[in-house]
Amino acid sequence: MATTTFLSNATVAIGAVDVSDQCQSVTLTVGFDPLETTAMGDTGHIFTKGLQTVHVTLTMFNSYGTAEIEATLWDVLGDGNTTLTISPSGTTESASNPEYTITNAMLAGFTPIASNVGELSMVNVTFTGGTFARDIT
């Protein structure tokens, strides 16, 4: 049985720009490429970890202007050296609020205009690649 309840209120920064107030959802997936080390005589596949893998998916309310979503994404589009900082709740790192820093992430593309009459403009983006570090101090 669960003993605690977590209410999501993540903080998200793209470079030096805090986009938390425009972010509706964030999904961070981290891991490693599996490298097969199976040898003669083994009775099953054996793996070791390879390079880090990182995927960050953001759903944000689109906005235009200096330091707004469209301009922030435009500035990092195709660079491959973007730093993202993501934490589940607030900016104080702890065991119950780990902060993940992703460096050298790539935004390959995004949709700068998505407009429907009477609806808020949303943009979905995925950053891939780079390396991750987890901080709880």
Give me the residues paired with residue 111 across strands.
none
pLDDT in tens, 45-91: 999 999 999 999 999 999 999 889 999 999 999 999 999 999 998 77
- pLDDT of residue 5 exceeding 60: no
The residues, any chain, with a CB within 8 Å of residue 59's CB and separated by 6 or more, are 23, 24, 25, 26, 122, 123, 124
* pLDDT value at residue 3: 62
- Nearest CA to 71 out of 22, 131, 112, 16 is that of 112
Mean pLDDT of 95-99: 88
Whole-angstrom Cα Rg for the chain: 18
Consecutive H or E run containing 126? strand 122-128
* pLDDT value at residue 67: 84
Tokens matching residue 41: 């005589």
- pLDDT of residue 1 exceeding 60: no
Distance CA 96, CA 57 (A): 22
